[in-house]
Amino acid sequence: MSAAALPAAQATLAERTRSVLARAVSLTVTTNGLRYDLVGLHSVDARGRVRLHLPADSLPAAHVACAPRGALAALVEFTDVAPVAVRDRVRARVTLSGWLTRSGHATATDKVDLRLDAARATLATRETTVKVGLDELVLARPDPLAVDEGSLLTHLADAHQDAVTRLTRLADPWLLRGAVRVLPVAVDRYGITLRCEYARNQRDLHLPFPSPAHDAAQAGEQIRLLLTAARSCPRRRRLPARP
């Protein structure tokens, strides 16, 4: 059975958005027409609310302190980048717009916590940009593999390229015609996605898991089941080795 013939469950837009927030280590904040790139200075709570943990003398903190009623309009952007070095590594962008206010959670005198009260959320992918409902965002949970996805994909690409090649047997033969390289680009509880790169473009191949995975160990088992299914498929021509 080819991958195209398999049923494919998908995460909701809110779940995909929460997954991007869960694995992001950096973000960009725009306030008063100025952009700030912040690395390791934010957190996301269980309800998807974003907090910035900034030096008390930083410009965003000063702008909030001087803002009317202590609320500063802000745009917060997260970029979801594939952990494997494929072409076009940006997989999605999440943009939250709303107001930054002091949260009062900071304990150090030289630090300040700013809470983003979101008024709008959007998810942009290679195909489209859509609005995500705030109520759905609060109720949704990140994919259980969101945090572990990077290590899972890099291990598969670095140590098991032979397995990646074997998985391509589950694809329709036309998809691999002219392919120069295939690499894993995403994985969630529902399946794994491979990026097929050609001389001038690329295409993604989604391989659904036989059943959803709820942690990294189960994801490994589901990949093994896909590899077992691939053994019964015709062998394709050998793809070039990863450079």
Angle (CA) 69 73 77, round 5°? 145
Q: Report the pLDDT value the prediction gives residue 182, as an integer from 0 to 100.
A: 95
Rounded Cα–Cα distance for residues 46 and 209 (Å): 27
CB distance 132 to 19 below 8 Å: no
Q: Report the pLDDT value the prediction gives residue 238, as an integer from 0 to 100.
A: 56
Q: Give domain 147-231's CATH number out of 3.40.630.30, 1.10.3720.10, 2.30.250.10, 3.20.180.10.
A: 3.20.180.10
Q: Report the pLDDT value the prediction gives residue 4, as an integer from 0 to 100.
A: 41
Q: Report the pLDDT value the prediction gives residue 219, as an integer from 0 to 100.
A: 98
Q: Report the pLDDT value the prediction gives residue 242, as an integer from 0 to 100.
A: 55
Q: Report the pLDDT value the prediction gives residue 41, as an integer from 0 to 100.
A: 96
Comparing CA positions, the residue from 231, 197, 234, 191 lying closest to residue 210 is 191
What ranges do the domains of the chain cover? 13-139, 147-231
CB distance 86 to 195 below 8 Å: yes
What does pTM read for this prediction? 0.90
Q: Give DSSP secondary structure letters for 165-193.
A: HHHGGGS-HHHHTT--EEEEEEEETTEEE
Instruction: Encode the chain (243 residues) as per-residue pLDDT tens digits.
Output: 344 444 468 899 999 999 999 999 999 999 999 999 999 999 999 999 999 999 999 999 999 999 999 999 999 999 999 999 999 999 999 999 999 999 876 556 789 999 999 999 999 998 999 999 999 999 999 999 999 999 999 999 999 999 999 999 999 888 889 999 999 999 999 999 999 999 999 999 999 999 999 999 999 999 999 999 999 887 655 555 455
Q: Report the pLDDT value the prediction gives residue 109, as an integer from 0 to 100.
A: 73
Q: Report the pLDDT value the prediction gives residue 237, as an integer from 0 to 100.
A: 53
CATH code at 13-139? 2.30.110.10
